[in-house]
Copies of this chain bind each other. A is one copy, B any other.
Amino acid sequence: MTTLLDVARVAGVSRATVSLVCRNSPLVADKTRLKVQRAMAEVGYVYNRSAANLRSSLANTVVLIIPEIANPIYSDLLSGVEEILTPLGIAVFIADTIESLERQSQILLRMLEMRVDGLIISAVAGTSPKSLDAYIRMGIPVVQVMRGIEGAQFDFAGTNNRLGTRKATEHLLSLGHQRIAFVGSAISPSVNQQRYLGFCEAVEMHGLAVDAMPVILSRHSFNAGALATKTLLAQPVRPTGLICFNDPIAFGATLGLYELGLVPGKDVSVVGFDDIEAARNWRPPLTTMSIEAQLIGKHAAMLLAERMKNRDLPISSLVSEAVLKKRETSAPPRIRA
Q: Is the CB of B95 within 8 A of A46?
A: no
Does A223 sit at the interface, judged by CB under 8 A?
Answer: yes
Does A278 sit at the interface, judged by CB under 8 A?
Answer: yes
A48 CA / B113 CA spacing, docked (Å): 5
A30 CB, nearest partner CB in chain B, Å: 24
A266-282 residues with Cβ-Cβ distance < 8 A to B are 277-278, 280-282
Q: Is the CB of A44 within 8 A of B93?
A: no
Q: Which of B94, B224, B277 contacts A69 (CB 8 A)?
A: B94
A322 CB, nearest partner CB in chain B, Å: 20
A255 CA / B259 CA spacing, docked (Å): 11
Q: Is the CB of A283 within 8 A of B54?
A: no
Q: Which of B96, B223, B285 contacts A282 (CB 8 A)?
A: B223
Does A209 sit at the interface, judged by CB under 8 A?
Answer: no
Q: Is the CB of A49 within 8 A of B281?
A: no
Q: Scoring A residues 90 to 128 as 1 if CB is less than 8 Å from chain B, else 0, what string do you get?
A: 010111101000000000001011110000000000000
Q: Is the CB of A48 within 8 A of B44?
A: no
Residues of B near A44 (CB, < 8 A) are 134, 137
Q: A50-B54, A78-B69, A96-B94 are in contact. Are A223 and B281 (CB under 8 A)?
A: yes
A102 CB, nearest partner CB in chain B, Å: 11
A277 to chain B: closest residue by CB: B70
A196-252 residues with Cβ-Cβ distance < 8 A to B are 221-224, 226, 252
A292 CB, nearest partner CB in chain B, Å: 16
A98 to chain B: closest residue by CB: B79
Does A335 sit at the interface, judged by CB under 8 A?
Answer: no
A281 CA / B280 CA spacing, docked (Å): 20
Q: Is the CB of A252 within 8 A of B75?
A: no
A127 CB, nearest partner CB in chain B, Å: 19
Q: Scoring A residues 35 to 75 as 1 if CB is less than 8 Å from chain B, else 0, what string do you get?
A: 00000000010111111011000010000000001101011
Residues of B near A47 (CB, < 8 A) are 113
A56 CB, nearest partner CB in chain B, Å: 10
A136 CB, nearest partner CB in chain B, Å: 12
Q: A48-B54, A54-B48, A114-B50 are in contact. Are A96 and B70 (CB under 8 A)?
A: no
Q: A277-B70, A281-B221, A282-B223 are in contact. Are A75 and B46 (CB under 8 A)?
A: no
User: Which positions in A face B, CB cutoff 8 Å?
Assistant: 1, 44, 46-51, 53-54, 59, 69-70, 72, 74-75, 78-79, 91, 93-96, 98, 110, 112-115, 134, 137-138, 221-224, 226, 252, 255-256, 258-259, 277-278, 280-285
